[in-house]
């Protein structure tokens, strides 16, 4: 975006939010040259980053595609379509929050995994096994164990215990 004050082309996004009605994204930007702030409005379709596939090719963001993947993982689980849409909404919010032109498909995959982890263990495992491609049952069990632990303290923000320094 061109800075309206000095014409510089680079800025950083300091805040992103949906405008009233939700059909546009309102962004506060800060010029990297003169530090002044200005607001832009972008249509939803234009505001979403392009998705960089693993092979390096670019693809338009596709809400339905993400929704399909999540629905598949949630099939026959006690999860409503409304909940699925909420998950997609959260992922979209995070994506827009980044304010980037391009986001990797990996980022999208792990964002979905994180959301499903909070939503439903079975859906999470299903999605993760496709997305991460658990190679063997051992890995799968470890993941289950890790989930058991995090379920015990779902919102715990405990500091990670200091690792024993063991260099050599």
Provide the binding-site residues for Zn ion, judged by CB under 5 A: 3, 5-6, 8, 31, 33-34
Cα–Cα nearest to 39, from 15, 10, 6, 8: 15
Nearer to Zn ion, 7 or 22 (CB): 7
**Distance in Å, CB of 64 to Zn ion, minimum:** 38
Cα–Cα nearest to 63, from 81, 45, 42: 45
**Distance in Å, CB of 6 to Zn ion, minimum:** 3
Nearer to Zn ion, 10 or 97 (CB): 10
Reduced to 3 states, what is the DSSP secondary structure of residue 79?
coil
Task: State the alpha helices, DSSP H only, in the chain.
Answer: 44-47, 63-73, 81-98, 105-119, 121-131, 137-152
Nearer to Zn ion, 31 or 79 (CB): 31
**Distance in Å, CB of 18 to Zn ion, minimum:** 26
């Amino acid at each position: 975006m061109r800075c309206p004050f000095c014409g510089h082309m680079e800025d950083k996004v300091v805040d992103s939010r949906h405008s009233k009605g939700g059909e546009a994204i309102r962004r506060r930007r800060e010029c990297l040259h003169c530090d002044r702030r200005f607001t832009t409005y972008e249509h939803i379709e234009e505001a979403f980053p392009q998705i960089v596939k693993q092979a390096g090719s670019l693809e338009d963001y596709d809400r339905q595609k993400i929704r399909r993947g999540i629905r598949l993982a949630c099939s026959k689980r006690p999860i409503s379509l409304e909940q699925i849409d909420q998950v997609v909404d959260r992922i979209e919010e995070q994506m827009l929050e980044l304010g980037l032109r391009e986001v990797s498909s990996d980022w999208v995959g792990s964002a979905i995994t994180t959301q499903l982890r909070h939503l439903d263990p079975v859906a999470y495992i299903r999605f993760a096994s496709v997305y991460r491609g658990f190679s063997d049952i051992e890995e799968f069990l470890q993941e289950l164990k890790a989930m058991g632990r995090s379920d015990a303290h779902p919102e715990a923000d405990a500091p990670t215990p200091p690792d024993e320094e063991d260099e050599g």
